[in-house]
Amino acid sequence: MKRLAIPVFLMMLLMGNAYAQTKTGAGAKKAPAIKAKPAIAPAPKKEDVEDGKVLLTKSDCLACHKVDTKVVGPAYMDVARKYPYSVANVELLSNKIINGGSGNWGAVPMAAHPTLAAADVKKMVAYILSLNTK
């Protein structure tokens, strides 16, 4: 019995996903599926990150920001380290970019960008916050 239990357990581990899927698939009908809200938002969408990178070059951002060194504004990598990717942080930083502001990195204020579309700014932030994984 003991000898069998270990290989069976390993097999279940190896089957990983398949096992989990059959479990939730068949069993889910009996018990209502609970959709747990992840504590941390999933990583930014790849398309958003790619779009955001391009959008940054079309605005004035790079006049004051570089990826890895402070210019007038903080390095984007430092911003990414300070703010882990989450829905709340994307919201917070997007508002800051659109409305401008100061005080988080020093006395120099960031100019407001009222003409940028909120959706575009969120993509820019997705790109910026993706930099903490590199």
Which residues of the chain form contacts with ligand HEC (CB under 6 A)?
56, 59-61, 63-65, 72-74, 79, 93, 96-97, 101-106, 108, 110-111, 113, 124, 128
Contact 77, 132 (CB under 8 A): yes
26's tokens? 């068949």
* Cβ-based neighbours of 94, under 8 Å, separated by 6 or more: 118, 121, 122, 125
Residue number, 11 or 117, with CB nearest to ligand HEC: 117
36's tokens? 């747990």
Question: Smallest distance, Å, CB 104 to ligand HEC?
Answer: 3
- Angstrom distance (rounded) from CA 127 to CA 52: 5
Question: Smallest distance, Å, CB 85 to ligand HEC?
Answer: 12
Residue number, 30 or 74, with CB nearest to ligand HEC: 74
Residue number, 32 or 114, with CB nearest to ligand HEC: 114
Residue number, 17 or 57, with CB nearest to ligand HEC: 57
Question: Smallest distance, Å, CB 129 to ligand HEC?
Answer: 8
- Angstrom distance (rounded) from CA 72 to CA 106: 10
- Angstrom distance (rounded) from CA 98 to CA 114: 5
Question: Smallest distance, Å, CB 94 to ligand HEC?
Answer: 8
